[in-house]
Amino acid sequence: QVQLVESGGGSVQAGGSLRLSCAASGRLDYTSCMAWFRQVPGKEREGVTSIDHSGRTTYADSVKGRFTISKDNAKNVLSLQMNSLKPEDTAMYYCASRRYCLVSSGSDLVEADYNYWGLGTLVTVSS
């Protein structure tokens, strides 16, 4: 019902910037609340940032002040502007969408609350 395709990953040096994009298609009513997660081998997926239908955003402490999430509703594209990148930002970045914005988990960065996922785009930050 929803398809998500990430792009924009690549290899950059520490301190550099990248902009990731996620093109969403399908049921628009299931793409009102979206997020970016990331994962490194051997570890669980980490919620990076989210945005809801009203534009309210949530950021993990590790990326506050450096990453910015935005959504172009007209084009159905979710973006992640990443500045001042650090080696610890190296990960596979995934775009995700959930059917309903209202959740009872108390957090907008819970993996289980999201229903649709892209295949990921790799970000590598070197020293």
N-terminal to C-terminal alpha carbon distance within the chain: 40
Q: Which one, of 78, 85, 83, 29, lies nearest residue 57 by Cα?
A: 78
17-51 burial by CB neighbour count: b if 16+ within 10 A, else e? ebebbbebeeeeebbbbbbbbbeeeeeebbbbbbb
Pairwise CA distance, residues 77 & 71, whole Å: 6
Distances (CA, A) of 17 to 86, 110, 112: 10, 26, 29
**pLDDT tens, residue by residue, 24-55:** 999 989 999 999 999 999 999 999 999 998 99
pLDDT of residue 102: 81
pLDDT per residue, tens digit, the chain (127 aa), is 999 999 999 999 999 999 999 999 999 899 999 999 999 999 999 999 999 989 999 999 999 999 999 999 999 999 999 999 999 999 999 999 999 988 777 788 999 999 999 999 999 999 9
Question: Hey, which residues does 78 pair with through a beta bridge?
Answer: 22, 71
Distance CA 37, CA 20 (A): 12
